[in-house]
Amino acid sequence: MAETTYVRTEMLPPKPPPPTQTGVIGWLRENLFDGWKNTLLTLVALYVIYALLSAALPWFLHAVWNAESLNECREIIKASWGPEADGACFAVIRDRWHQMLYGFYPQDLYWRPNLAFVLMLVALSPVLFPNLPRKMLVFSLIYPFLGYWLLWGGTVWAPVSWALGFILGYFAFILVNDRGGTILAAIAAVVVPVLWWLFGAGPFADLVQSLIPISLADVESRQFGGFMLSVTIGITGIVGSLPLGIILALGRQSNLLMVKSLSVGFIEFIRGVPLITLLFVASTLLNIFMPPGTNFDIILRVVIMVTLFSAAYVAEVVRGGLAALPKGQYEAAAALGLDYWKSMRLVILPQALKIAIPGIVSTFIGLFKDTTLVSIIGLMDPIGLTNAIRANAEWQGIIWELYGFVALVFWIFCFSMSRYSMYLESRLETGHR
């Protein structure tokens, strides 16, 4: 047998790919210039970016931060960049900075909303990030009362006596539950605090205040404004609408005809009307529904309406989550002998809420954006302030600087909320892939 010397015994090293397939050129060819259609798209996109930048960049570079009025801004820009130059007048934000943040809140009391905001972050963090110590949740429970006291002022004993209502309700539930069963306990847990709030809370707060006076200067709701108002309404609405939405969703899934039809009716009604009509109700009608002489705080009225509005949307999202669970989960919970509330709390809701997270968060983003609607009923939120500043003689004609600033702040809030929802989803991901 002849020797086949021409057969190679070792492998040749692979050749590097041609330079047009790798590195920057390869990436460009694959992603931007792949065929004439793609090239055309790239060119159009490049032109759009160029057009945007060529308008925006000089505008930013010529920005003026120190001026008293728009005319002064324009003069400074003309003086330094030539008569044709166009520039941003960010001086308006500097000039109205405090107003945009706090509205007409008394200037010497700015530390109160600042402190309330920082404490709010502390109170929210254990709820948002489960790896923080659980004991911090106690502070989260106290915070709503503390935050109210810091923002509105008045005697500290008023929020304390409201909090006392919840504590009384809790004890009433435990006491009655041991003797009379869950239903009676639930009724007691509602009736006792309501009675306390109606008849006991006010005198109690007055009494303790006269014994141990601790109070902060009062601030009227009308003085609230700016981003502080948006955050106040937004966060209160979010915190209130989640539990209410879950209850409505459970009501809609309930076997009890009465509960079910009431929930359906409420949800469909709220989802069928625009928020602005509900805000009209808050601003003009809510006082008509109450006993004569009642005077509700305007921010409280708005918060109630915003909460009800977004609770209906949360309810629909949660219902989607409940419907997505396999029926076996319900049956398994029942087979373990769990009663309705236990099976919901321990088996169904943890899974359903996990499915519903993206929808819930986007409802909350919608709620936060919708807080701007209060400007239509005359509250001074950032949009209302923007309108007022633009109507002012000094800043008449300013557009991009103000709206851009407000838009940027909202964008940061909303975008970080949607990122948080992604983080939460990936953290709770238990699928085995």
Residue 391 phi/psi, 5-degree rounding, is -85, -10
**Closer residue to another protein, CB minimum distance, 1 or 288:** 288
Alpha-carbon distance of 374 to 225, in angstroms, equals 11
Binding site for another protein (CB under 8 A): 31-32, 34, 38, 41-42, 45-46, 48-49, 180-181, 183-184, 187, 255-259, 262, 268-269, 271-277, 280-281, 284-285, 287-292, 365, 369-370, 372-373, 375-376, 383, 386-387, 390, 397, 399, 403, 406-407, 410-411, 414-415, 418
Q: Identity (one letter) of the amino acid at 6?
A: Y
SS3 category, 215? strand
- Minimum distance from residue 33 beta carbon to another protein (Å): 9
**Closer residue to another protein, CB minimum distance, 131 or 255:** 255
**Closer residue to another protein, CB minimum distance, 144 or 234:** 234
**Closer residue to another protein, CB minimum distance, 166 or 403:** 403
Task: Output the DSSP codes for 130-178.
Answer: TTS-TTHHHHHHHHHHHHHHHHH-EETHHHHHHHHHHHHHHHHHHHHHH
- Minimum distance from residue 45 beta carbon to another protein (Å): 5
**Closer residue to another protein, CB minimum distance, 36 or 111:** 36
**Closer residue to another protein, CB minimum distance, 123 or 282:** 282
SS3 category, 109? helix
**Closer residue to another protein, CB minimum distance, 137 or 290:** 290
In 3D, which of 162, 187, 224 has the Cα closest to residue 382?
224
Lookup result for tokens 């945009």: 100
Query: How many C-beta atoms lie closer than 10 Å to residue 298's C-beta?
Result: 19
- Minimum distance from residue 269 beta carbon to another protein (Å): 7
- Minimum distance from residue 139 beta carbon to another protein (Å): 30
Determine contact, residues 414/369, Cβ cutoff 8 Å: yes
- Minimum distance from residue 87 beta carbon to another protein (Å): 15
- Minimum distance from residue 243 beta carbon to another protein (Å): 18
Which secondary structure element, helix H or strand E, spans residue 155, and what is its range?
A: strand 154-155
- Minimum distance from residue 41 beta carbon to another protein (Å): 5
- Minimum distance from residue 262 beta carbon to another protein (Å): 6
Per-residue burial over 7-28, b = 16 or more CB atoms within 10 Å of its CB, e = otherwise: eeeeeeeeeeeeeeeeeeeeee
Alpha-carbon distance of 275 to 284, in angstroms, equals 14
**Closer residue to another protein, CB minimum distance, 357 or 376:** 376
In 3D, which of 282, 249, 285, 286 has the Cα closest to residue 266?
249
Determine whether 247 is exposed, middle or buried from the number of CB atoms within 10 Å of its CB (0-12, 13-18, 19+): middle
Alpha-carbon distance of 233 to 225, in angstroms, equals 11
Cα separation of the two ends of the chain: 56
Running DSSP on this structure, what letter comes out for residue 283? I
- Minimum distance from residue 292 beta carbon to another protein (Å): 6
**Closer residue to another protein, CB minimum distance, 218 or 297:** 297
